[in-house]
């Protein structure tokens, strides 16, 4: 008697039987995974490459600093090009003032952070730093309000209706 270890060869498939759908579902799963991953990579790259992500909020932020730039961007974003340019021309005269006030504000924040992180807590120095921070913040806000009011004053009434929408 002769025995073999070979597995029997499968016979021909019956007409009503189908092969396993496993490979098909595996291919569909890989395709769906690929599509989802490409979509997510596109979202991430789109966010990273967006000018607001890389350059801190666009042309207004670069021109006037982070605080004033975002205020101006929100304020004049809905104006038409001619009115927007008119406001920008007026505000550009104040850009150096805004930058200096922003720098002063940043320096005072750093001073406050150093005081808060110090090994020994000096309550009087922290209180004084907070008062100075508030004063510098008020100075920046006052300068922005004045410059924006001067610039918007020259706009026609129809354009002022589109401010800060």
The per-residue pLDDT for range 8-35, each reduced to its tens digit, is 666 566 555 555 677 888 889 999 999 9
* Higher-scoring residue by pLDDT: 60, 147: 147
Q: What is the pLDDT of residue 48?
A: 75
Main-chain dihedrals φ then ψ at residue 129, nearest 5 degrees:
-65, -40
Count of all residues that appear for the chain in the document: 165
Q: What is the pLDDT of residue 131?
A: 95
Q: What is the pLDDT of residue 37?
A: 94
Q: How far apart are CA 68 and CA 148, in angstroms?
A: 10
Contacts for 56 with CB less than 8 Å, ≥ 6 apart? 62, 66
Q: How far apart are CA 57 and CA 64, in angstroms?
A: 11
Residue given tokens 């189908």 in the structure block: 18
Q: What is the pLDDT of residue 15?
A: 58
Instruction: Please give the C-alpha separations between residue 82 and each of 79, 85, 87, 99, 155, in angstroms, as whole numbers.
Output: 8, 5, 9, 25, 10
Q: How far apart are CA 142 and CA 137, in angstroms?
A: 9
Banded model confidence at residue 119, pLDDT cuts 50, 70, 90: very high
Q: What is the pLDDT of residue 142?
A: 92
Q: How far apart are CA 60 and CA 79, in angstroms?
A: 14
Per the CB < 8 A criterion, the answer to whether 51 and 58 are in contact is: yes
Q: What is the pLDDT of residue 5?
A: 63
Q: What is the mean pLDDT of the chain?
A: 81
Q: Is the pTM of this model over 0.85?
A: no
For 40-64, write each residue's pLDDT tens digit: 998 888 877 765 555 555 667 777 7
Query: How many helices (H) does the chain have, and how many strands (E)?
Result: 8, 0
Joined together, the tokens standing for residue 74 give 């929100």
Per the CB < 8 A criterion, the answer to whether 134 and 104 are in contact is: no
């Amino acid at each position: 008697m002769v025995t073999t270890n070979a597995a029997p060869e499968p016979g021909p498939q019956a007409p009503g039987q189908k092969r396993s759908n496993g490979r098909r579902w595996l291919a569909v799963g890989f395709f769906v995974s690929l599509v989802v991953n490409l979509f997510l990579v596109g979202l991430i790259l789109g966010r990273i490459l967006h000018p607001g992500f890389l350059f801190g909020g666009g042309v207004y932020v670069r021109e006037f600093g982070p605080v004033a730039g975002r205020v101006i961007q929100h304020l004049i974003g809905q104006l038409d090009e001619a009115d927007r340019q008119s406001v920008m021309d007026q505000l550009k005269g104040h850009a150096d003032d805004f930058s200096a006030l922003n720098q002063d504000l940043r320096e005072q924040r750093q001073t406050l952070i150093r005081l808060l992180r110090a090994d020994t807590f000096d309550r009087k120095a922290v209180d004084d730093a907070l008062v100075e921070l508030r004063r510098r913040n008020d100075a920046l806000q006052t300068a922005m309000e004045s410059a924006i009011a001067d610039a918007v004053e020259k706009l026609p009434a129809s354009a002022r209706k589109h401010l800060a929408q």
